[in-house]
Structure 1
Amino acid sequence: MTTNAFADLGPVRHAGPDATEDLGYRWYDKDRIVLGKRMEEHLRFAVCAWHGFCWPGSDVFGAGTFDRPWLAGANDATAAAAKRSALFDFTQRLDVPFYCFHDVDIMADADGIADFRRNFAEAADDLERLQGETGLRLLWGTANLFSHPRYMAGAATNPDPQVFAWAASQVRDALEATHRLGGANYVLWGGREGYETLLNTDMARELDQLGRFLSLVVEHKHRIGFSGTILIEPKPMEPTKHQYDRDVATVFAFLQRYGLDTEVKVNIEANHATLAGHSFEHEIATAAAFGIFGSIDANRGDPQNGWDTDQFPNSVEEMTLAMLEVLRAGGLTTGGFNFDAKVRRQSIDLADLFHAHVGAIEVVAHALLRAAAIIEDGRLDAFKRERYAGWGDAFGQEIVPLDLAALADLAAARSLAPPPRSGRQEWLENLLNRF
């Protein structure tokens, strides 16, 4: 089944920095060479299936507000096919290369496990057909292990082993489908891998279960020959009070404990970073320092709200800081920029979906150009290198092999009196703003 829902919208193309049309790219020029690489390959944009094509515009106080043609009636095989068709049509019209999905996003509703597997298999067959017809690629796939009531106490961390087994069935099928569809990554988000109260929680057991589950996923990846990256998406809380994948540093400690730090990387979401009390760029830099930087969910939160508002990014200044860390980390390899964001509940027109994505794409592309210009200018990185230069000179190299006592004795023998040196933060911020 096909849908012509977007027949009067797009396609969106690069129109130049002086363009005036709303649905034209000023900054996103996919073939432009930036730091030796095409912009499309730097950014690897992806449209997600869930917020744009599954969410009806509901919230905890009210029913859905969106009159999407593929959401009318029950989510049966016909509706699911229309939703998949709309997803591909929309992504093509945006002129970006990737899409991504949860299993339940792209399939018909199912009751038992046999129906679930059959409906998902039919959806995967259709995705393969759509990819062949359009040339679109899969950035990553995943299984939804948080929405169904069976997962109210978690999936891998659930106290019921039957839920653990059901979750394994979903992940096995979703991972194999991702492999078959040429996906570049597979993501696990522990939305309910955590607790509401320690009064009913055995944390040590749950962490061991989570470690075992992730180990099984990695083992199966190698068994089927999937060469993509396994990603974990950190988030501190919501929907649970506390989630075990709180932030990048917590995830890295978890991966080290279970011997998975060379097998798994992170998919970092901007709004999750701020909920954890960090900046977006902090989480990217942390992941790069630990060698686990993988992919990005590009969105933002509202600083006046304490929850995950999943709004489209709209600040070039904030995104430039993040983009600097992406480029310093060597850029994206298998990862990309996926827009895990949703239009506002009052933005009910299909055109609003276009405006949201176009604006976000423009913000990220503009930030890439600013970050590249800062790196090419060189002053920011030169200052940082100079600040740590002492570790490369004779004294810095001399102290590297010393134990604590020898180091202390050396400091006393040479009567060290290092003078304070300015970090020049204000000058650096002014320099950044000039770009």
Structure 2
Amino acid sequence: MSSFAPTSSETGAGSKDYTRFNSADAEFFQGISRIEYKPDSKPDETMCYKHYSASQVVKGRTMEEWLRFSVCFWHTFRGTGADPFGFPTLIRPWDDGSNTIENAKRRLRAAFEFFTKLGVKYWAFHDRDVAPEGATLEESNKNLDVIVDLAQELQTKTGVKLLWATCNLFAHPRYMNGAASNPSAHIFAYAAAQVKKGLEIAKKLGAVNFVFWGGREGYHTLLNTKVLSELTHLANFFKMAVAYKKKIGFTGQLLIEPKPKEPTKHQYDYDAMTVIGFLKHFGLDKDFKINVEPNHTTLAGHSYEHDVVMSSAFGMLGSIDSNTGSPDLGWDTDQFPMDIKNCTLVMKTVLEQGGIAPGGLNFDCKVRRESTDLRDMFISHIGAMDSFARGLKAAAKILEEGVLEKYVKARYSSYESGIGKKIDEGTATFEELEEFIKKNGNPVAESGQQEHYESVLNYYV
């Protein structure tokens, strides 16, 4: 494993002319026009939608309204393909690799051309991904203001809206022991100041959500950790965010994104139920909802759709970072979701709860290290959008025909009357249940018929 940084010649930067991308009307994806819906296209025609038609109505709403697709800025326009064993492979013609305002502006203009040609209505970003971090907080904020002004101009020009903003409270060395759960009050204060600015720019750009991801909010060893103190400080941080949100009149939904591990050994936002328990314990459940990333869900040892279903069951599903992973690898690979069955199960939940707004399906995904062509940026998103469009149609048909619902209803029918209804309503007592058993005898267990349900699902997908 190499321990030195790649040179400019190794990354492809250094001698190229980037000035041609500096003008406001520069074209970054030459030869690629707006992606069209072509349902009769051939199998190997991957630069068109075969299933996603934004205006197609499904259960009373358009696909665009149900799916609310969003492109993430960090993976798509800051990802380099580098990994612990190799140098960057994703060398973009407009990106000189520098941490300058000029390069940041080029990235942003390229991004909005991409959003427009792809035909999505939303995007999402981290503060430190769109603008260079300065030597001081004041300098960082000044850089953000410059880029946010450009973002506002591009949003107005294209009609693309901000699904959510967030603050990077995990990458800088100051956050190596956490941000809001850090043992240093000084670092806690810096994180608070950073989020204060983040909420301000979210309001300015009209974000409909604001996300907190606690990548470093956890521990590597309990030997040096005061768990309750860290959780209490984390809760107090969130309470301050709620107070400041109200003070400045920001109306976006606050979201927490669960993840069990990576980069810490254990993160406090382990999964949806852990976050729900945390929010309820500290009285924050009315102010926050959950942003589920299915790849994180599988890292917690759950099925792909688990956290989506659990969050929705408690009225806490706010948004979905729509990606997937490779279970055989066991780490966060952030791949584009191409499994129709997974997408169907997610969209079934979204339909059942009446939609995902003001959240959406944000593609927190990155092309593979080996997918180096600019066209691969489009193909990856197109494939995932088609997968969710197919999932939406399949889920709608499942709910309309009601076959699965009929079997589930029958399975729980004993709770609709008699002693079962009293149990469901919470009015039954142990004494009553004992008398019920004495009168009715031993119960008979019924088959769960898992294979039957799986076969029914397969019919629709």
**Does TM, normalized by the shorter one, top 0.5?**
yes
Preserved contact between residue 187 and residue 267 of structure 1 (Cα < 8 Å): yes
User: 1:415 offset after TM fit, Å?
Assistant: 2.8
Preserved contact between residue 299 and residue 331 of structure 2 (Cα < 8 Å): yes
User: 1:19 offset after TM fit, Å?
Assistant: 5.0
Structure 1 counterpart of 2:57, from 33, 40, 43: 33
TM-aligned CA distance change 1:343 to 1:398, over 3 Å: closer
Residues 152-301 of structure 1: matches in 2 within 5 Å? 152-301=176-325
3-12 or 165-174: bigger deviation: 3-12
User: 1:17 offset after TM fit, Å?
Assistant: 4.4
Partners of 1:69 and 1:109 lie apart in 2 by 23
- The TM-score, its normalising length taken from structure 2, stands at 0.91
- The TM-score, its normalising length taken from structure 1, stands at 0.97
Partners of 2:433 and 2:419 lie apart in 1 by 11
Residues 36-435 of structure 1: matches in 2 within 5 Å? 36-399=60-423, 400-412=426-438, 414-435=439-460
Count of equivalent residues: 434
**1:244 partner letter:** Y
214-223 or 184-193: bigger deviation: 214-223
List alignment gaps of at least 5 residues for structure 1.
none
Partners of 1:376 and 1:397 lie apart in 2 by 27
Preserved contact between residue 6 and residue 90 of structure 1 (Cα < 8 Å): yes
Match of 1:7 in 2: 30
Partners of 2:304 and 2:249 lie apart in 1 by 33
Preserved contact between residue 47 and residue 339 of structure 1 (Cα < 8 Å): yes
| Residue deviations 1:254-278 (CA, integer Å, cap 9, x gap) | 0011101111011000110000001
SS at the partner of 2:305? helix
User: 1:382 offset after TM fit, Å?
Assistant: 1.4
SS at the partner of 2:296? helix
**1:250 partner letter:** T
Partners of 1:83 and 1:431 lie apart in 2 by 46
**1:128 partner letter:** Q
User: 1:405 offset after TM fit, Å?
Assistant: 2.4
Preserved contact between residue 29 and residue 39 of structure 1 (Cα < 8 Å): yes
Partners of 2:33 and 2:195 lie apart in 1 by 35
Partners of 1:32 and 1:177 lie apart in 2 by 34
Partners of 2:220 and 2:94 lie apart in 1 by 35
| Residue deviations 1:205-255 (CA, integer Å, cap 9, x gap) | 111110000111111111122222100000000011110000000001100
Preserved contact between residue 19 and residue 26 of structure 1 (Cα < 8 Å): no
Partners of 1:248 and 1:310 lie apart in 2 by 19
Match of 2:11 in 1: none
TM-aligned CA distance change 1:223 to 1:402, over 3 Å: same
Match of 2:16 in 1: none
SS at the partner of 1:280? coil
TM-aligned CA distance change 1:277 to 1:73, over 3 Å: closer
SS at the partner of 1:262? coil
**1:10 partner letter:** S
| Residue deviations 1:2-27 (CA, integer Å, cap 9, x gap) | 44221212311211244553211010
Identity rate, percent? 44
Match of 2:6 in 1: none
User: 1:395 offset after TM fit, Å?
Assistant: 3.3
**2:397 partner letter:** A
313-322 or 358-367: bigger deviation: 313-322
Partners of 2:272 and 2:380 lie apart in 1 by 28
**1:275 partner letter:** L
Partners of 1:68 and 1:101 lie apart in 2 by 19
Preserved contact between residue 48 and residue 101 of structure 1 (Cα < 8 Å): yes
**2:31 partner letter:** D
Output the aligned Cα RMSD.
1.4
| Residue deviations 1:37-73 (CA, integer Å, cap 9, x gap) | 1100100000000001012111111221121134314
User: 1:170 offset after TM fit, Å?
Assistant: 1.2
419-428 or 249-258: bigger deviation: 419-428
Preserved contact between residue 54 and residue 71 of structure 1 (Cα < 8 Å): no
| Residue deviations 1:147-192 (CA, integer Å, cap 9, x gap) | 1111111100111111111111111111111112111100000000
